[in-house]
Chains A and B, each alone.
Chain A
């Protein structure tokens, strides 16, 4: 059954017990992302300490894949440099968009290799990427020093 390949225990664990959930202060930038096809949403904050990701906090409504992916994301980026996070994100995106053709590198992706099964379901790729899109956007804002844009955008939505 393909279903178990996608819903690996590690994904269901993160879904039931998400890491670092909830919005926290202080933060340098916030991003609000939405999946218009299903209405799932995430508000994600990033706090940087120099070039390191000091904290990622978030408030999300979504399916198990999007919730778990955001939870795993925080494990992969908090404490790392922004550059390392970008490398991890690229590897994650490549894996989930590969339709199963890319063998994930466990050294880079750690627990996130569990999302390899998602790549077999094109309609779920957006779910797995929702939190990552918010992280990418928030880091970009933080580096640009525009910490209030995210909140404004959220209101506009």
Chain B
């Protein structure tokens, strides 16, 4: 997301129409207060269109996909593969470059385990094998899902983990690390789930390419909020989750460039992913089937296809413009409240709609509790980015995160809620 907006923002009536698609947004919480849902960074709400698509699939077409020749099996397989094709188009990928996983965490683990399995797979996979002396590079702002799998990969292979540091204003410090010929993987987020920071992807990819390293992009916080084209970004792998983009939980996506997926050994093995099975050993199917062992989640994939249709109908440029305006309103409002400290960039340049902050020395749990009492749902924790919080000398923060269905009035409610936290816990002006 940049400062230049090319699309018009959503009008009030359009926004009202969108909100009407999300039944949960009209409920009340905590003594009849209207729900102000500002926790879409954790999980987003789902529109009726997604719920209906799942129900229609289950009521009319349900069967195990890629098995059997009966009519339902054909229809289920068509629905599943149609979802894959639409999701692929949504992120600038070919259908056979999209692998369905349980979630984004599994998608990143699939890459990490594929790489370590390369050591024993032989053949084309040898190019991926890691050894002591090799380096895997991440950043200090990663979600645990894009950190712990790499720590574990290092442990299994003897490779060394290194990381780019974060500046005081929440940007990636590109001078904090030099890649080298030893660097084999550079894994980084497309948008910090805590600070909203969008790192310079093109520059990171350029540096990784220059030393022959693979790039892995955690796109969980970008794909739901802004137009994303993995081919144009030129990353090797990317992961995102369904439930953060108006879709179901239980489904995530791994994107991989075709020639890499063709060479990568499998992570999970079993049914569906094989080519020939003999008692003595087996060979494996081409991607994406090689990476989808067992009967996959089906209604969830169909639901995610419907979520992509929904977002496309609104238009991702407009989604981004809408959330940009909300983020700007929140940052401006918060910066005017005495005692509030924003964790991360305080401007809207290269920044998405996740805003984390501290209110005086009030613990995030306590602040979150007061906001919850007002019906405002925010996240109060380290947001699965513990090292980043440690870097800023805090245990936890309050995070408000936005989605297409949020309104300027909800940002006003958040700002009023922050004032109430100050009053309740007597934060000095």
Inter-chain CB contacts under 8 Å: number: 50
Within 8 A of A (CB), among B1-49: 30-31
Q: Dominant SS at the A interface?
A: mixed
**Residue contact A37 to B395, C-beta cutoff 8 Å:** no
**Cβ–Cβ < 8 Å partners of A124 in chain B:** 365, 369
Q: Is A3 an interface residue (CB 8 A)?
A: yes
Q: Is B108 an interface residue (CB 8 A)?
A: no
A139 to B380, CA, bound (A): 31
A41 to B395, CA, bound (A): 9
Q: Is B94 an interface residue (CB 8 A)?
A: no
Q: Is B195 an interface residue (CB 8 A)?
A: no
A7 to B364, CA, bound (A): 15
**Residue contact A62 to B363, C-beta cutoff 8 Å:** yes
Q: A3-B424, A63-B363, A124-B365 are in contact. Are A40 and B373 (CB under 8 A)?
A: no
**Cβ–Cβ < 8 Å partners of B31 in chain A:** 1-2
The smallest C-beta distance from A144 to any residue of chain B, in angstroms, reads: 30
How many A residues have CB within 8 A of the partner chain? 18
Q: Is A127 an interface residue (CB 8 A)?
A: yes
A32-56: CB near B (< 8 Å → 1, else 0) gives 0000011111000000000000000
**Cβ–Cβ < 8 Å partners of A1 in chain B:** 31, 373
A7 to B425, CA, bound (A): 10
**Cβ–Cβ < 8 Å partners of A21 in chain B:** none
A59-87: CB near B (< 8 Å → 1, else 0) gives 00111110000000000000000000000
The smallest C-beta distance from B57 to any residue of chain A, in angstroms, reads: 34
**Cβ–Cβ < 8 Å partners of B373 in chain A:** 1-3
**Cβ–Cβ < 8 Å partners of B363 in chain A:** 40, 62-64
**Residue contact A37 to B366, C-beta cutoff 8 Å:** no
Chain B residues engaging chain A, CB cutoff 8 angstroms: 30-31, 363-366, 369-370, 373, 380-382, 386, 389, 395-396, 424-425
Top 7 nearest A-B pairs by Cβ distance? Answer: A63-B365, A63-B363, A39-B395, A3-B373, A38-B396, A39-B382, A38-B381
* CB-defined A-B contacts under 8 Å, sample of 29: A3-B369, A3-B373, A6-B369, A7-B366, A7-B369, A37-B381, A38-B365, A38-B380, A38-B381, A38-B382, A38-B395, A38-B396, A39-B381, A39-B382, A39-B389, A39-B395, A39-B396, A40-B365, A40-B395, A40-B396, A62-B363, A62-B395, A63-B364, A63-B366, A64-B425, A65-B365, A121-B369, A124-B369, A127-B365
